[in-house]
Amino acid sequence: MSRVLVCVAWPYANGPIHVGHVTGSLLPADIFARFNRLVGNEVIMVSGSDMHGAPITVSADKEKVSPEEIANRYHEINLKAINDMGICFDMYTHTHTENHGEEVRKVFVKLMEDGYLKRMTTPQYHCSDCGRFLPDRYVEGRCPHCSYDRARGDQCDSCGMDLNAEELIDARCQLCGAKPELRDTEHFFLKLSGFTDQLLKYVEGSSHWRPHVRAFTLNVLKEGLIDRPITRDISWGVPVPVQGFESKRIYVWFEAVIGYLSATKEWAKAKASEDDWSRYWKDEDCRSYYFLGKDNIVFHTIIWPAILLGNGGLNLPYDVVANQFMNLGGQKFSKSMGVSIDIPDLLTKFSPDVVRYYLIANMPEFKDSEFSWEDFAQRTNGELVATYGNFIHRTLSFTFKNYGVVPTRGALDERDRAALERISRAEKDMRESLSACRFRDAMKSVMDLAQFGNQYFDAVAPWTLIRSDKERCGTVLGVSLEICKALAVLGSPFMPFSSEKIWHDVGMEGSVVESGWNGTKTPLKEGKKMEKPVPLFAKVEVPLSGGFAKYSALDLRIGKVIEVERHPNADKLYVMKVDIGRPITIVTGLKDFYSAEELSSKTLVIVSNLEPAKLRGVKSEGMLLAAEVGGGLALLTPESDLPPGTPVTSGLEVGSKTISFKEFQELDIRVGSLAGGSPPKLDIGPRTVSCATERGEVGRKYAALVQDESAVVMHAKGDIKIVFDRDIPVGARVR
């Protein structure tokens, strides 16, 4: 019996939470907390919505509402989503409470008094019309590097240089257009550098941390910490408790982490035992676990510990359980499928346990993982439904049909005893994995038990026994029900809703949560009437992304190069004029591959409806297609001459809207070699796909639009195919 504080990174109240939040921090924390409660530890789990900071004020300005309104809206939405996911907090608050403000104030003052803060004055733009200091991104002006007229104070969109707002020429306020003036402004800085040695010792002593968390932190520490400002000239946030700082607020990164402490205190107040918070923060036997995504590591392994060290007397994080990212790339995720990925939306389509199962099975614990609908369906249907759900259901329905009550268990034979031992082994495995925060492994040991259940059930074949020896049959069903019950208990941290249902269906009273870990040992209620079982999970169906429709967004044209010049402002770029039926300007990065003379005679394939973009100050109105691999590059060109402007449709519909560069990048165009056969095959390097195009020269390399297991050779009307001006390996990607 011990005490555990579970802290979860604070979701930002500027949008609904998505699978990344759940699989990265909320879900592992919930499993860990549930597991600890199950084994009888004292646990509280705390977090809340991070309500302050610039992005929320930006959203608020956009919608012309108060920041508070935005923050409250998403707080409510997320609170509900968290609840619906079965994520069980002892306190889920937010950072805009009186309590939190007070706590932040206290910590701030303590650090200030003990000399861990310093004041520094820096110049900053102030707009007298708006009556406020302007964050760098709200200042606009001419870029000192490229003369672009609408550069922002943090960065120039045109040439990409990082800027300081003071460098801008003719700066103006982006909100009202007035000319702002530079004013000195004073801020507090946290003297992080002074903590370096203590932190090094702390991190080096934490050998139980995940390797990537520890290595990353040590790396940052060795590079040297810099003192960081912890106040800002903004109006949305926690006030600075110092005279003369009435117009300023505490910077969110400093303030939000203090939420762990303030939330614990709020929890203690709510249960009317105010001092209970200290049992979780001052008692050195209490371990604190922090669950977050890898983008958040330094805040929890450096900044928060530094604040705690400065404050004194409070426990440092025992473990910082940072997950990697679950990526949502790969096109399969697009909204065009009618399924987006935020949690409120996901839960309208799938039950929380199904979502939880997949997110655990695919949790990015040690490396990034990829969410895909195909995988989601496969794992749900093949593992959760077919192994776990099916074992429970075949046991329950057979028992119900033949007995109607929980059968009486007679003498056990060797196999039965082995089965019961197998339950103990699963318990032990799961306990070990979860104690080490290995969630996938832990759930695997539960699934393995379900699979064992199927093996046992098959081996004892109750459908035969029922005709020959009903008493013995009752015994094996009793053992099977034991396994079901164990699955309910062991599965409860992962799939709490179904666990309760199983618990009830095998005839147990109360709940798994109440019975705790010992539920596996609590005897079945023999003779208790059963209810007609309903399958726990249904198979899921997800829409498949079909066909080559996505390529229809492209409007490809034949283009002839008119002239080629060097980019005035970049060494690697050319500025080209190309005739695609009309002359356009294209900026390209081909300098390493082609001389201007070589290029000037080329006939190319151009994406004509790409969103124009400024590259280093020059507007590019399109993009030429080239295949690239390793150090090699080849341009796409028609196999025989075509007039400029000829559409390259590849037999598909042609898009009329402009497409973004990002959308373009999601398309998979590759160099493929035609392999013949019927239907013809196309070798695209790592694999061979079927080719939807009829003719073509076997062995020749063509540009191909790839979609899953099939591909279309890119061609213009008259079946003029697209080839390359140089040799390039099969499989090279076109971009």
What residues between 373 and 412 interact with RNA by CB under 7 A? 375, 378-379, 382-383, 385-387, 389-391, 393-394, 397-398, 401
Which of 173, 489, 624, 722 binds RNA (CB under 7 A)? It is: 624
Instruction: Give the residue from 403, 525, 408 showing the smallest Cα distance to 471.
Output: 408
Specify the stretch interacting with RNA by CB under 7 A; choose among 4-12, 34-42, 459-467, 699-707: 459-467
Enumerate residues 192-211 that contact RNA by CB under 7 A: 211
Q: Which of residues 327-356 bind RNA (CB under 7 A)?
A: 327, 329-330
Q: What are phi and psi of 155, to 5 degrees?
A: -165, 150
Q: Least CB distance from residue 130 to RNA, whole Å?
A: 26
Helices (H), 506-614: 512-515, 596-599
Q: Which of 203, 484, 489, 615 binds RNA (CB under 7 A)?
A: 615
The reply to whether 324 sits near RNA by the rule CB under 7 A is yes
CB of 735 to RNA, least distance (A): 6
CB-wise, 347 or 613, nearer to RNA? 613
Taking residues 409 to 448 in sequence order and writing x for each that binds RNA by CB under 7 A, - otherwise, the string is ----------------------------------------
Distance of alpha carbon 705 from alpha carbon 693, whole angstroms:
11
Give the nearest distance from C-beta 508 to RNA in angstroms: 20
* Closer to RNA by Cβ: residue 580 or 623: 623
What's the CA gap between 235 and 231, in Å, rounded?
A: 11
Q: Give CA separation, 163 vs 156, 603, 617, in Å.
A: 7, 40, 15
Q: Among residues 457 and 494, whose Cβ is nearest to RNA?
A: 457
CB 654 within 8 A of CB 590: no
How far apart, in whole angstroms, are the C-alpha atoms of residue 381 and residue 373?
12
Site for RNA in 632-691 (CB under 7 A): 661, 665, 686-687
* Span 539-568, contacts to RNA by CB under 7 A: 539, 567
Burial string for 414-450 (b: 16+ CB within 10 Å, else e) reads: eebeebeebbeebbebbbebbeebbbbebbbbbbbbb
Q: Which amino acid is at 310?
A: G
Q: Which is nearer to RNA, 263 or 385 (CB)?
A: 385
Of the two residues 38 and 168, which places its CB atom closer to RNA in the complex?
168
Q: What is the nearest approach in angstroms of RNA to the Cβ of residue 267?
A: 34
In whole angstroms, the minimum distance from the beta carbon of 275 to RNA comes to: 39
Q: According to CB under 7 A, which residues from 265 to 304 bind RNA? A: 294
Least CB distance to RNA at residue 62 (A): 19
Looking at residues 83 to 112 of the shown chain, list those that interact with RNA (rule: CB under 7 A). Answer: none
Which of the ranges 114-122, 153-161, 280-288, 549-557 carries the binding residues for RNA, by CB under 7 A?
153-161
- Which span sits near RNA by CB under 7 A: 91-99, 412-420, 585-593, 719-727? 585-593
Check binding of 320 to RNA (CB under 7 A): no
Residues 205-244 that bind RNA (CB under 7 A): 211-212, 216
User: CB of residue 181 vs RNA: minimum separation in angstroms?
Assistant: 28
As measured in angstroms, the least distance from the Cβ of 726 to RNA is 15
Write down the least CB distance from residue 37 to RNA, Å. Answer: 27
Q: What is the CA radius of gyration of the chain?
A: 31
Cα(180)–Cα(196) distance, integer angstroms: 39
Q: What six digits make up the tokens of 289?
A: 């676990």
Q: CA–CA distance from 55 to each of 8, 21, 60, 345 (Å)?
A: 21, 18, 9, 23
- Return the ∠ at Cα 590 (arms to 589 and 596), rounded to 5°: 125
The binder of RNA chosen from 588, 603, 637, 646 (CB under 7 A): 588
Give the amino acid at 630. G
> For RNA, which is the closer residue by CB, 401 or 525?
401
Q: Which is nearer to RNA, 130 or 341 (CB)?
A: 341
* Closest C-alpha among 41, 43, 17, 50 to residue 29: 43
Tell me which residues in 502-541 interact with RNA (CB under 7 A). 535-539
Interface with RNA includes 724 (CB under 7 A)?
no
Q: Contact at 8 Å (CB) between 605 and 722? A: yes
Annotate each residue in 51-90 with x if it binds RNA (CB under 7 A) or - if it does not, as one string. ----------------------------------------
Residue 405: DSSP 8-state: B
Of 262 and 395, which CB lies nearer to RNA in the complex structure?
Answer: 395
**Helix (H) or strand (E) run with residue 710 in it:** strand 710-713
Distance CA 193, CA 187 (A): 17
Binding residue (CB under 7 A) for RNA from 205, 244, 631, 718: 631
- Secondary structure of residue 54 in the 3-state scheme: helix
Peptide bond into 543 cis (omega under 30): no
451, 518, 640, 690: which one binds RNA (CB under 7 A): 451
Q: Which of these, 133, 203, 199, lies nearest to 171 by C-alpha position?
A: 133
Which CB, 60 or 322, lies closer to RNA?
322
**Which of 175, 412, 613, 720 is the binder for RNA (CB under 7 A)?**
613
Closest C-alpha among 42, 28, 7 to residue 285: 42
Q: How many residues bind RNA (CB under 7 A)?
A: 78
304-311 vs 196-204: helix crossing angle, rounded to 10: 110
331 Cβ contact list (under 8 Å, min separation 6): 545, 550, 666
Q: Which is nearer to RNA, 332 or 721 (CB)?
A: 332
* Residue list 154-173, contact with RNA (CB under 7 A): 155, 159-160
